[in-house]
Amino acid sequence: MGIVIRGGSVVNADHTTRADVYCEEDKITAVGLDLEVPAGTEEIDAGGCLVMPGGIDPHTHMELPFMGTRVIDDFYTGTVAGATGGTTMIIDFVIPPKGGSLLEAVDTWQERAAKAATDFGFHMAITGWDERVAREMDEVTRERGINSYKFFMAYKNAIMVSDEELVAGFSRCREVGAIAAVHAEHGELVYHLQEEMLQRGITGPEGHPQSRPAAVEAEATARAIALADVLQVPLYVVHIGAREAAEAVTRARLRGQRVFGETLAGFLAVDDSVYYDQDWDFAAGHVMSPCFKPKGHPEALWRALQAGNLLTVGTDHCTFTKEQKRMGLEDFTKIPNGCGGVEDRMSVVWELGVNSGRITANEFVAVTSANAARIFNVYPRKGVVRVGSDADLVVFDAQKSKTISARNHYQQNDFNVFEGLEVQGVAVHTISAGRHIWADGEVRAERGAGRFVPRAPYGPAYAGMDRRMVMNAPRRVERKG
């Protein structure tokens, strides 16, 4: 049985139009006014609402084992939470242990993700470097549908990679047709500052931002950009929180480098004052890396989004309970790093972005869905309301309000970084691959109905000209005499 969404305004990244949308099985099969549909078709009334491509959260960590514990949201609860907020695809990070096999890690993640309620894709993390990793990157990219690799420039003594590994890994990305991604923080400097804080007796959550000044992010972002430029590999900088990091991306793009910047819904909404709250659980609940930055940074990120210099808004959804966070009661470096957001991302970006006049509804679609689909090579299957695209849709009521709270959110953690924020603009219906899984307050999602979305490697043109070929081209040297 198909579904028809009637009477809404269809908002894509490039235009808005009044139209009905008809879906058969998992695809959109008609978009137009007053569509005639077969008897028995489910009708969704979108009168007064917007019909947009389902959100794509390009940055999540479901059931990740991390810092001695495990993320509390699994692929089912996390994707259901996302769907209630209008998100129909996540791209999660496969993170093998240092020295581990990439292929085995993909299998592990596929097993975990088999319970997902919406579609999902994977990025692969490179946590160390050896011949097997280099070899497996080829199979991961060409046969396992993963075309993006994240390198952690922080988390010393855990998953951080060295400059030597970055260089080798970036080069290999180019060879296999993948995009490199970085967690850009100067891990050595963070470690040094953390030690200094602890020696000074600063053991609470306030030590977290004090050991991660903006320069930590700015330096690593600039370094990754320089390496990617020389090695001619496209680069995606994840979770940008610092103005200076966004500026580094902007400068690179002005120079013509293929660099994409992602920020997070949280970074657009919250500043580092949260770490100085007297309530330890509240302060620790915000501990994530990079950290929230001082006042002024969120506005700079908004401006970079407005200008098109940052292109995506993810969440870095990585949820822990208060109890889990208390692992770091005596030492802030032991607080599991991570916050939530997959459920609230769309409403928060709408409220602070569109309602404030910072971005248009079309730009909203770009930064919450279409740009991620383009950058990660799944457009137009995802990211657009168009005949032939996947029937991943959100009916969004821009008049409806709600107050975000951990008391009634679907995420499994007992904390919400957007607690108390009133948002006007709410997902009222979510369609995932042609299934109506969120119906005005009712969850109809099915465990395991989500599908893995393979992403093809990029062609050579995407990486750009191989500068080394030019540099090494034989040159005739005229000598006198």
Cβ proximity to Zn ion: between 208 and 429 the closer is: 208
- Please, what sign has the CA dihedral across residues 352, 289, 102, 448? negative
List the interface residues with Zn ion, window 162-221 (CB under 5 A): 183
Helix (H, G, I), strand (E, B) or coil at 11: strand
Least distance in Å: CB of 337 to ligand URP? 3
The CA distance from 379 to 406, in Å, is 34
DSSP state of 118: S
Contact mark string toward ligand URP, 327..346, x via CB under 6 A: ----------xx--------
Least distance in Å: CB of 183 to Zn ion? 3
The CA distance from 336 to 332, in Å, is 9
Determine which residue in the list 288, 367, 384, 437 makes contact with ligand URP, applying CB under 6 A. 288
Q: Where do we find the tokens 């009133």? A: 422
Determine which residue in the list 20, 57, 272, 316 makes contact with ligand URP, applying CB under 6 A. 316
Determine which residue in the list 57, 316, 363, 392 makes contact with Zn ion, applying CB under 5 A. 316
Task: Select from ligand URP, Zn ion, none the partner in contact with residue 60, using the beta carbon and a kind-dependent cut-off of 5 to 8 Å.
Answer: none
Contact mark string toward ligand URP, 6..45, x via CB under 6 A: ----------------------------------------
Task: Select from Zn ion, ligand URP, none the partner in contact with residue 337, using the beta carbon and a kind-dependent cut-off of 5 to 8 Å.
Answer: ligand URP
Q: 6 near 33, Cβ under 8 Å? A: no
Q: Convert 118-134 to b/e letters by CB count within 10 Å (16 or more is b).
A: bbbbbbbbbbbbeeebb
Pairing mode, if any, of strands 259-264 and 235-240?
parallel
Contact mark string toward ligand URP, 158..197, x via CB under 6 A: -------------------------x--------------
Least distance in Å: CB of 328 to ligand URP? 12
Q: 75 near 63, Cβ under 8 Å? A: yes
Helix (H, G, I), strand (E, B) or coil at 439: strand
Helix (H, G, I), strand (E, B) or coil at 371: helix
Determine which residue in the list 318, 370, 417, 463 makes contact with ligand URP, applying CB under 6 A. 318
Q: What angle do CA 438, 440, 442 make, to 5 degrees?
A: 55
Cβ proximity to ligand URP: between 379 and 418 the closer is: 418
Give the end-to-end CA distance of the chain in Å, rounded to a whole number.
86
Name the site residues for ligand URP (rule: CB under 6 A): 61, 183, 288-289, 316, 318, 337-338
Q: Which residues bind Zn ion (CB under 5 A)?
A: 183, 316
